[in-house]
């Protein structure tokens, strides 16, 4: 999905989630979605470094957000 579709999905999820606390992990390269989520009240709380030995995998324009790393 593109940034617009990702934001539509995020808004739909926020409308039906029973929790008042929602955590998303976004690629740092997705500035448009970060900006849009900030306007919805999200705030960055920490950053991580993804490190590779050898060539890093090529990025995908379809990646919008991932499940939090705390889930394993």
Distances (CA, A) of 9 to 3, 12, 45, 59: 10, 5, 22, 21
pLDDT computed for residue 4 by the predictor: 86
pLDDT 10s digits, 1-26? 678 888 898 889 889 988 788 888 88
For the whole model, what pTM was predicted?
A: 0.67
* Mean pLDDT of all residues in 47-66: 73
What does the domain layout of the chain look like in residue ranges? Answer: 3-71
């Amino acid at each position: 999905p593109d940034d617009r579709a990702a934001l539509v999905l995020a808004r739909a999820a926020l409308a039906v989630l029973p929790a008042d606390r929602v955590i998303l992990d976004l690629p740092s390269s997705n500035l448009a979605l970060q900006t849009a989520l900030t306007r919805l009240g999200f705030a960055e709380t920490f950053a991580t470094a993804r490190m590779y030995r050898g060539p890093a995998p090529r990025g995908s324009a379809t990646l919008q957000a991932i499940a939090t790393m705390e889930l394993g």
